[in-house]
Amino acid sequence: MIINDGFIPKRQVNPKVPPGQYVVNDFPVLSLGPTPDISINDWKLEIAGLVEAPQVFTWTEFERLPRVEMKTDIHCVTKWSKLDTLWGGVSMDFLIEQVIVSESATHLIAHSYDGYSTNLPIEDVRGGKAMIATSFEKEPISTPHGGPARLFVPHLYFWKSAKWLSKLEFVNGDIPGFWEVRGYHNYGDPWKEQRYLDD
Amino acid sequence: MKNKWNLVTLLESKMIGTNVMALVFDAPWWPGHTPGQYIDIRLTAANGYQAERSYSVASTIEEEGRIELGIELLEEGEVSPYLFALEPGAQIEVRGPLGGHFLWDIATPGPLVLIGGGSGVVPLMSMVRHHKLHLSDDSEREVFFLISAKTIGHVLYKDELEKFSRDDVNFHLALTLTEEAPIGWTGYARRADEVMINELFGELHDKRPLFYVCGSNSFVETLSGILVAAGFNPKSIKTERFG
Ligand SMILES: Cc1cc2nc3c(=O)[nH]c(=O)nc-3n(C[C@H](O)[C@H](O)[C@H](O)COP(=O)(O)OP(=O)(O)OC[C@H]3O[C@@H](n4cnc5c(N)ncnc54)[C@H](O)[C@@H]3O)c2cc1C
């Protein structure tokens, strides 16, 4: 490490902000291509893989499920963090119970309408840590930010919170997703600054 | 050793557009990159405080041991004003090359369409320079470059790009100025829209073009949306957002 002479911090150090991150008030976007246009009339969410009761939800069915809220910070690998954001949706614990996920499932693969996918160990979506979010600050999630529905796993870098969610697949064994095979870290803990492959 | 922070030394810096500076660093350890990639910069203050930011690489892979960046000054920003004030000989820590999707090299088939807003031109410049250096093998390729900038002064690498378009009939440069156009201006003078996209790229529908769109969040959102509306395959459009 070197000291950069004359470099004067302009931001306050905040213990809520992981290393290498800085706080934004706006809401930037990370994406690999154009924002897909998904009508809630055509929207479906499939839950499949190692589950006893696979399900396909329509929007109307999904909206009737019990809702939870999470107010927390989010951290994007491109270095911005946004504090105290409020998200609402359906808890992953509830969905895992509904479809009866098999004991043998070790990972969740989240698939998106634009062909994106991301992988998470199953422990990371259990125990109140994750949900399928359909609202941000009490409003429907705008499309650039992943609406109608996105995965929400705020303790990991935000690329793990797949936007435009189409399918949850429970599997035995890990299957690295879109960014995970393109040089980004497989797990993505912001507090350990696990941005890239060997971090 | 991607995750290792390495030192680079500033060789020279010069203004390449209103509020944008090219910084060229000596980086003997640089393993080379694929055009479109970026690096992370880390600055450390005397009290140990650190700031990190990402910057796209403008130089091409053939320039070994050298990294050129193009940095826009945000007056109240934490990192960009510091980089602007760096003197030759100064050292900073960087790591990279990084990024695994917004990539292009001459092995990629099909016409190349680059669309840059403001400093979003930087990673696209690496692609163009790489193509130019291989022009003898790559002369059949059509390259289209649309740049959207506030004024003519905000068009980065203007002389270099105009020279390319004079030298190569297959290189098509289009500029649109969104705030102010000089008297007698014959290019576009408005925000990019579907009419403009069809005029410029309409002939490419059957030729499997690849699109690279880079700039601010709203620029990328708008332009990639227009391309989809104009009937181009969403899978053929790659985006990079600077924030
Ligand atoms: C993949 C990638 C590639 C990039 N490539 C380039 C590139 O080639 N060239 C380039 O110029 N940029 C590039 N960027 C953007 C770059 O990483 C920085 O975001 C940019 O330089 C601004 O950094 P800064 O420290 O100067 O400003 P920051 O300190 O991050 O401030 C950004 C803005 O927020 C405002 N602000 C100030 N204080 C606060 C505060 N307390 N809270 C909220 N906002 C505040 C500032 O006025 C400023 O306008 C890239 C970004 C990414 C993700």
- Residue A34 within a domain: no
Identify the closest residue of chain B to A25 by CA–CA distance.
Answer: B243
Instruction: Return d(Cα A136, Cα A117) in angstroms, integer.
Output: 22
pLDDT tens digits, chain A, 199 residues: what are they?
A: 899 999 999 988 899 999 999 999 999 999 899 999 999 999 999 999 999 999 999 999 999 999 999 999 999 999 999 999 999 999 999 999 999 999 999 999 999 999 999 999 999 999 999 999 999 999 999 999 999 999 999 999 999 999 999 999 999 999 999 999 999 999 999 999 999 988 8
Domain count across chain A: 1
Tell me how far apart the alpha carbons of residues B199 and A172 are, in angstroms, rounded to a whole number: 51
Looking at this protein, which amino acid is placed at residue B117? G
Question: What is the whole-number distance in angstroms between the Cα of residue A171 and the centre of ligand 1?
Answer: 39
Ligand 1 binding pocket includes B100 (Cβ within 6 Å): no
**How far is residue B123's CA from residue B102's CA, in Å, rounded to a whole number?**
9
Assigned token pair, B38: 């970026």
CB B177 within 8 A of CB B187: yes
C-alpha A53 to ligand 1 mean position (Å): 47
- Summarised one tens digit per residue, pLDDT across range B153-194 is 999 999 999 999 999 999 999 999 999 999 999 999 999 999
Nearest CA in chain B to A7: B45
CATH of the domain at A131: 3.90.420.10
Q: Is residue A106 part of a domain?
A: yes
**Is residue A36 in some structural domain?**
no
Distance CA B175, CA B161 (A): 11
- Residue-number span of the structural domain to which A153 is assigned: 43-174
Decide: A82 and A24 in contact? Cβ < 8 Å.
yes
Q: Is the ipTM of this complex over 0.85?
A: yes
Ligand 1 centroid, distance to B39 Cα (angstroms):
14
Assess whether pLDDT exceeds 90 at residue B139. no
pTM of model > 0.90? yes
A1 or B8, greater pLDDT: B8
Q: Does residue A25 sit within a domain?
A: no
For residue A76, being part of any structural domain is answered with yes
The answer to whether position A93 is within a domain reads: yes
Q: Is the CB of A23 under 6 A from ligand 1?
A: yes
Of all atoms in ligand 1, which is nearest to the CA of residue B80? 26
Which B-chain residues 82-121 have CB contacts (< 8 A) with chain A?
A: 82, 85, 90-93, 98-102
In a domain, A31, yes or no: no
Which among A7, A24, A33 is the nearest to B237, CB-wise?
A: A33
What are the tokens at B7?
């030192």
Q: Is the CB of B37 under 6 A from ligand 1?
A: no
Question: B 171-200 residues with CB below 8 A of A?
Answer: none
Computed over its alpha carbons, how large is the radius of gyration of chain B? Answer: 18
Residue nearest atom 10 in ligand 1 by C-alpha distance: B71
Q: Is A83 in the pocket of ligand 1 (CB under 6 A)?
A: no
pLDDT at residue B2 tops 80: no
Q: At what angle do helices B121-133 and B158-167 cross, to 10 degrees?
A: 40
From ligand 1's centre to the CA of B54, what distance in Å? 9
Q: Is A196 on the interface with B (CB under 8 A)?
A: yes
Residues in A touching B231 (Cβ below 8 Å): none
Q: Is A135 part of any domain?
A: yes
